[in-house]
Amino acid sequence: MAERLYLPQVLEGVAVTTRHFVRNLTLHTLHLFGLAKDRPAAVTTQYPEQRKVYSEGFRGAHRLTLKPDGSVRCTACFLCATACPARCINIEAGEHPDPEVEKYPVRYEIDTLQCIYCGMCVEACPCDAIRMDTFVHPRLWGYQREDFVEPKAVLMERSRVLQERGRDALMEDMLRAYQAGEDVGPALGGELTQR
């Protein structure tokens, strides 16, 4: 009967949690007095103020890469949108004013609430026009669904920030805005979304 009520498992879980709690509380208290320093207590990363060092293969938020003249590299071929299992990439193609370039994305949007960060769009792109090497997390906060839809300008601005200020700049901007309680900057989708 007790087994059917999952009572042993519940008690076992409570015992494990209590054991870890008492152990960590004791060790942290001893460490305060300079004792038992050789025995590490569990440490929680206080994200976003503290961050782990991400591996080079970390899949961050998307960015659209740029040509040397700063224009978007994407040719609006729709391969990324077709490969996307979450159907969260929306592209509107337009004729490019330069006759040498066939098409370009008039509109390119990623709904990050639907995205599963699988990287299939990056794999599918034939011209290296989309990457997920920003080392930045998706937007951390927002107040309505539109806040999490990243338009072409945001995705391009990330490439500019990455080129000009290096791989930690985007995350630093996000953290500064988060601590100040402000909206995030344009490269993170802040000033470009409608409130």
Which of residues 61, 115, 184, 188 is near ligand SF4 by CB under 6 A? 115
Picking from 78, 63, 79, 191, the residue whose alpha carbon sits closest to that of residue 138 is 63
Residue 61 engages ligand SF4 in binding (rule: CB under 6 A): no
Taking CB under 6 A as the criterion, which residues in 153-192 touch ligand SF4? Answer: none
Q: Tell me how far, at minimum, the Cβ of 115 lies from ligand SF4, in Å.
A: 3
Please state the closest distance from residue 13 (CB atom) to ligand SF4, in A: 34
**Which listed residue (78, 90, 177, 186) binds ligand SF4 by CB under 6 A?**
78
Residue with smaller CB distance to ligand SF4, 59 or 167: 59
Of 28-36, 88-96, 143-151, 169-177: span binding ligand SF4 (CB under 6 A): 88-96
CB pairs under 8 A, 24+ apart, for 152-156?
A: 152/64, 152/72, 152/105, 152/107, 152/108, 152/109, 153/186, 153/192, 154/186, 154/187, 154/188, 154/189, 154/192, 155/62, 155/63, 155/64, 155/108, 155/110, 155/130, 156/63, 156/64, 156/66, 156/72
Cβ neighbours, 10 Å, residue 8: 10
Q: In whole angstroms, how close is the CB of 31 to ligand SF4 at the nearest point? A: 42
Number of residues that bind ligand SF4 (CB under 6 A): 27
Binding residue for ligand SF4 (CB under 6 A) from 60, 63, 76, 189? 76
Is residue 107 within a helix (H) or strand (E), and if so which, with residue range?
A: strand 103-111
Binding residues for ligand SF4 (CB under 6 A): 74-80, 83-86, 88-89, 91, 110, 115-121, 124-125, 127, 129-130
